[in-house]
Structure 1
């Protein structure tokens, strides 16, 4: 699949390439210094440290610890400081700026509005604040010479039974930049079919949605997300590899579900570093993304939680280059896969592919 590139595929060069991000959590991507500032402003006293470097390291180490309790505690801190309008605007604006600085030209960033109501903000006010922040961040990025567009996905927490309410919220704000819906939270014990009323409503409204599936839980989660709920994309979807058998001689056999996912070009929102932290693979080299890419599933490369994983889209791509020897054509393929799979209109997707992504990679392939 890989070809020799004209320009070396170095981390610095990858940084300059146009990238697309479909799976990124707003409350998992704050700057450590911002967490500290917002905690002080809100009177939040529970941070483990108020040194920015130490705090960033604490988030990464806690996410790497193998302890679910410590991992979830990291989000208690970020959500804990995102409970008023000013904080939400700032976090969203900095998210857009940080992604643009990483060379991302289109991103879909997701969050669960229900997590930010502790100080009395309404769900609609929360969405309006985040949208205002994204627009401000896009403007500041443009002033710095980088163009980025942010689409928003609203998540419902699958354990809280508010999915229909959040789906209605997403539809209410879809003309203001909310491009889709998602369910997040623990997969085990909370199958996507618990939220069928929300997915039925979204289909009736011609609205887009993805579903976290096949991350911590296996094939039944993916099957339900697709065949009962009608998901257009799979958040993670890494466990689809359980339906693929590789024989000793290298022959590959796809089961019926894996074949369906590949045949229908259902996008996989893969997050390699995050999957290592949650135990889906022991290393990048052993991550199923290598096999799924070779088999030409519609693989996309994502960050999940940039703060907790200490990653960017560029660093995720660089890790794949190191592990699998990918070249520029491969990175372009991942990027176009993601742009094709975005929840904005066909003409807008096509324009970004033809006017931004292809020329950007052409400069790297044939400088």
Structure 2
């Protein structure tokens, strides 16, 4: 068993580690996730346009061009990987690298949803707000994208020789995990705390107690809890399989906030900085606690501490940036604690008992 294999070529079919099918090499997975990044960014551009360009009336836009050209490039690359294996004498499913099967199935689903999206826009209209997140064709597109994007993660997960990968070795899987979290948050934009500006955070939790709180307060509270689950779940899943390298949590925070700031028109920069700082602290927690399925106590402590740190820094950043605290102390002091409890609950669900 190796701690972090740096394999650059596909593992051959029939090897003891693959059982008859090839495993994509590092460069193959890296290209896959970078091309997936292309059409992920295209989706974020399209989402921004739907929300910020009122005169948007056509399917044929620059944002769709980036989005669908990225898909075409990604699809062509995956098909070329299959063709390369076919040329080497592999047939049928044996030509599909381990972990690439769901992506192969997702390609025609994505293409069909793209055609459906064109017809939807033509005959029903262009979404301009929250309805973009519930469009059936968009939901099929996002599901297909997740299956394609997570391909490098499945590749690395299947390699039982890799236990503690270096950051370089983990990079394709880490990017896949990070962009997937970003896409999930994008389609949960109605409960995404990362897009709040520091001013909005302070104002949301500033209200007359007797009034029971404003709608904005309820929105922020719910968004904190939902966003926390989306941010902590990838890490809790990953540490069940790997000893994550230092930088994995920072990578997750950086990618999520890179795309979040674009959606928010770069008005949430203080929030973005806070999340990235939290990512660094969480990396330290990973290093010190080494949580895993066999170390349940450390696993749960990590879930609690990582969640608490994320939202303590979130509110601290808003307070420092605005130079004032929200008027309702219970809200901004209790929210990080509530998020921490949710994190522990998720840890208990994922790992009820220690793995022997």
Normalised by the size of structure 1, how large is the TM-score?
Answer: 0.26
Q: Greater RCO between the two (CA within 8 Å, min separation 6)?
A: 1
Q: Which has the larger radius of gyration?
A: 2
> Would you tell me which structure has more strand in proportion to its own residues?
1
TM-score when scaled to structure 2?
0.27
